[in-house]
């Protein structure tokens, strides 16, 4: 990207332009530039994908304002010289949505910093404070409908079908367990579908990875990167996000017998922290046990790891992980 073009967008002379981050997938191309002027630093982001639009960036501006207003710091998106928050720019033959963010004033979370309790409190606060906030974009955690219009099903069902179709004719795979977890997925979803649609939702940032989390004195203070922000059922977000944080904390041990109940108990403990900021209603209390079983075994990362072991011809690990899925489904839960 040319410095003159960026200087024109922010109406300030760019002294130094540094390519900070890039992603170049087939249908998802992203660039982030660090822009240095005489006195300030900004981050210019350019995305060419089906997730990003000028309208969505304008909506994100309002979400960021709301987050800041409830004490969750996030760098603001600044207006460009055309008085708009986002522009459409042609670059390398593609259309990019371009916007500019302030530089964060806090440090990023280190991998060694455990913020799981802080995240539970943050989730409770957002669940309460943004429940009625108007935002029309979906979360990537969405269930019972696709996140992307071109998809047919949600991500949970998509990856389960990949696993099932890949394994069903493989002699080394335990077919009894495979059929069990496949059938259970649809049985659980059929059981919860009607009530699920009535669950309360809120607006979540949906990407609590280290590079997006800001800290002050090793305490959670805020977030950057709202590209995946979306309205989501509060319970669905809680289960997805807190489960991800637990799996990060215990590394590759999360499929072991010992850690299945450890994970459940840690999850229950953090639900109590969520409850300091958010009150679960009766429908949420009644559905959470089934919803946990409909999400945890069928999330993206367990299923993609199973596929990875299949590609390495490690069928002992494949069968072990299928059995782990079955054990999660069979747990007698009482989460709330």
Residue 148 and residue 22 in one domain: no
Can you tell me the distance from the alpha carbon of 138 to that of 231, in angstroms, rounded to the nearest whole number? 5
Does residue 100 belong to any structural domain of this protein?
yes
Does residue 218 belong to any structural domain of this protein?
yes
Cβ-contact 231, 299 below 8 angstroms: no
Residue 55 and residue 125 in one domain: no
Range of the structural domain that residue 200 is part of: 116-330
Residue 34 and residue 142 in one domain: no
Does residue 295 belong to any structural domain of this protein?
yes
Q: pTM for this one?
A: 0.92
Can you tell me the distance from the alpha carbon of 80 to that of 64, in angstroms, rounded to the nearest whole number? 17
By CB atoms closer than 10 A (0-12, 13-18, 19+), residue 290 is: middle
Number of domains in the chain: 2
Residue 173 and residue 214 in one domain: yes
Calculate what percentage of the chain has a pLDDT beyond 70.
97
Residue 63 and residue 154 in one domain: no
Question: How many CB atoms neighbour CB 137 within 10 A?
Answer: 17
> Looking at residues 293-303, what average pLDDT do you find?
93
Residue 78 and residue 199 in one domain: no
Does residue 111 belong to any structural domain of this protein?
no
Can you tell me the distance from the alpha carbon of 21 to that of 36, in angstroms, rounded to the nearest whole number? 15
Residue 67 and residue 160 in one domain: no
Q: Give 162 or 16, the one with higher predicted confidence.
A: 162
For 35, residues 6+ apart whose C-beta sits below 8 A from its C-beta are 6, 10, 14, 16, 17, 41, 42, 43, 44, 100
Cβ-contact 59, 136 below 8 angstroms: yes
- pLDDT value, residue 253: 67
Residue 100 and residue 147 in one domain: no
Domain-terminating residue out of 53, 78, 105: 105
Residue 158 and residue 139 in one domain: yes
- pLDDT value, residue 251: 62
Give me the CATH number covering residue 141. 3.90.1200.10
By CB atoms closer than 10 A (0-12, 13-18, 19+), residue 117 is: middle
Can you tell me the distance from the alpha carbon of 223 to that of 214, in angstroms, rounded to the nearest whole number? 6
Does residue 47 belong to any structural domain of this protein?
yes
For 25, residues 6+ apart whose C-beta sits below 8 A from its C-beta are none
**What separation in angstroms does the CA of 64 have from each of 41, 146, 326?**
19, 25, 40
Does residue 285 belong to any structural domain of this protein?
yes
Does residue 110 belong to any structural domain of this protein?
no
Can you tell me the distance from the alpha carbon of 100 to that of 6, in angstroms, rounded to the nearest whole number? 10
Can you tell me the distance from the alpha carbon of 225 to that of 248, in angstroms, rounded to the nearest whole number? 20
Residue 34 and residue 161 in one domain: no
Note the pLDDT tens digit of each residue in 212-249: 999 999 999 999 999 999 999 999 999 999 887 877 66
What is the C-alpha R_g of the chain?
22
Note the pLDDT tens digit of each residue in 24-61: 887 889 999 998 988 889 999 999 998 899 999 999 99
Residue 228 and residue 257 in one domain: yes
Cβ-contact 83, 183 below 8 angstroms: no
Question: Is residue 79 classed as helix, strand or coil in its secondary structure?
Answer: coil
Does residue 335 belong to any structural domain of this protein?
no
Note the pLDDT tens digit of each residue in 248-295: 666 666 677 778 888 888 899 999 999 999 999 999 999 999 999 999
* Helix, strand, coil distribution of the chain in percent, nearest 5: 45, 20, 35
Domain-terminating residue out of 105, 124, 139: 105
Could you give the residue ranges of the DSSP H alpha helices within 168-296?
175-196, 234-250, 257-274, 282-295
Give me the CATH number covering residue 30. 3.30.200.20
Note the pLDDT tens digit of each residue in 95-131: 999 999 999 999 998 877 889 999 999 999 999 999 9
Domain-terminating residue out of 105, 132, 149: 105
Closest to 317 in 3D by CA, of 169, 167, 182, 186: 167
Cβ-contact 116, 242 below 8 angstroms: yes
Residue 143 and residue 98 in one domain: no
For 56, residues 6+ apart whose C-beta sits below 8 A from its C-beta are 137
Cβ-contact 206, 140 below 8 angstroms: yes
């Amino acid at each position: 990207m040319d410095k003159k073009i960026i200087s024109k967008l922010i109406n300030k002379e760019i002294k130094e332009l540094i390519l900070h981050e890039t992603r170049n997938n087939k249908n998802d191309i992203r660039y982030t530039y660090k822009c240095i002027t005489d006195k300030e630093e900004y981050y210019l982001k350019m995305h060419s994908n089906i997730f990003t639009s000028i309208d969505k960036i304008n909506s994100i501006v309002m979400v960021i304002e709301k987050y800041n207003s409830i004490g969750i710091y996030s760098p603001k998106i600044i207006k460009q010289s055309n008085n708009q928050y986002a522009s459409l720019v042609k670059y390398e033959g593609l259309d990019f949505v371009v916007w500019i963010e302030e530089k964060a004033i806090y440090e990023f979370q280190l991998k060694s910093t455990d913020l799981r309790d802080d995240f539970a409190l943050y989730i409770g606060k957002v669940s309460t404070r943004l429940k009625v906030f108007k935002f029309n974009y979906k979360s990537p955690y969405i269930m019972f409908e696709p996140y992307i219009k071109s998809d047919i099903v949600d991500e949970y069902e998509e990856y389960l079908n990949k696993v099932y179709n890949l394994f069903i004719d493989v002699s080394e795979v335990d077919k009894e367990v495979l059929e069990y977890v496949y059938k259970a997925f649809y049985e659980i979803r059929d059981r919860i579908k009607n009530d699920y649609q009535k669950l309360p939702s809120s607006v979540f940032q949906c990407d609590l990875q280290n590079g997006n989390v800001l800290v002050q004195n090793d305490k959670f203070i805020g977030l950057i990167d709202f590209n995946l922000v979306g309205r989501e059922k509060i319970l669905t977000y809680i289960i997805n996000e807190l489960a991800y944080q637990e799996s990060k904390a215990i590394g590759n041990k999360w499929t072991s017998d010992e850690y299945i109940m450890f994970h459940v108990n840690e999850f229950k403990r953090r639900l109590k922290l969520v409850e300091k900021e958010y009150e679960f209603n009766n429908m949420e209390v009644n559905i959470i046990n089934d919803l946990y079983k409909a999400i945890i075994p069928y999330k993206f990362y367990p299923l993609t790891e199973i596929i990875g072991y299949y590609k390495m011809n490690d069928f002992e690990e494949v069968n072990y992980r299928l059995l782990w899925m079955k054990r999660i489904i069979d747990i007698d839960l009482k989460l709330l």
